[in-house]
Amino acid sequence: MITLLKRREGMSKADFIAYYESRHRLIGEKVLAGYATRYRRRHLHPADGQDAPHDFDVVLEIEFADQAACDACFAAMADEATMREIVEDEERLFDRGRMRSYTVEDHESVLPA
């Protein structure tokens, strides 16, 4: 699963990354433990170095061993208290209206050395 996330209006990129990695990440680790095999955040920095407005600030990658583990994780996350904790923290960090999640079909090329 990949989710594209945009920081909330008025938050600097440095503050966004610091908050995500020191606080929000911990919620993710807690709710994904026992279900996901990987929880990776890829913070995006424009290749041209310009901090201009853009669509997303981070690519969140969550990998599961199989669909059953993914389904079980999202069922557990639907618990009212868990969902409240996630949403309340997301509102401090993200433009929730811009969140986009996708399941991923992987194709990989083996390149010559």
Domain membership flag for residue 110:
no
Task: Report how far residue 84's alpha carbon sits from residue 27's, in angstroms, rounded to the nearest whole number.
Answer: 11
Domain membership flag for residue 63:
yes
Domain membership flag for residue 105:
no
Query: What SS3 string covers 18-83?
Result: HHHHHHHHHHHHHHHCCCEEEEEEEECCCCCCCCCCCCCCEEEEEEECCHHHHHHHHHHHCCHHHH
Domain membership flag for residue 107:
no
Instruction: Let me know: does 56 contact 5? Beta carbons within 8 Å.
Output: yes
Domain membership flag for residue 109:
no
Q: What digits encode the pLDDT tens for the residues 19-31?
A: 999 999 999 999 9
The total of structural domains in the chain comes to 1
| Domain that residue 71 falls in | 2-99
Structure tokens at 94: 């993200």
Q: What digits encode the pLDDT tens for the residues 54-111?
A: 789 999 999 999 999 999 999 999 999 999 999 999 999 999 999 999 999 989 999 9
- Say what the pTM is: 0.89
Q: Is the dihedral of CA 4, 41, 105, 82 positive or negative?
A: negative
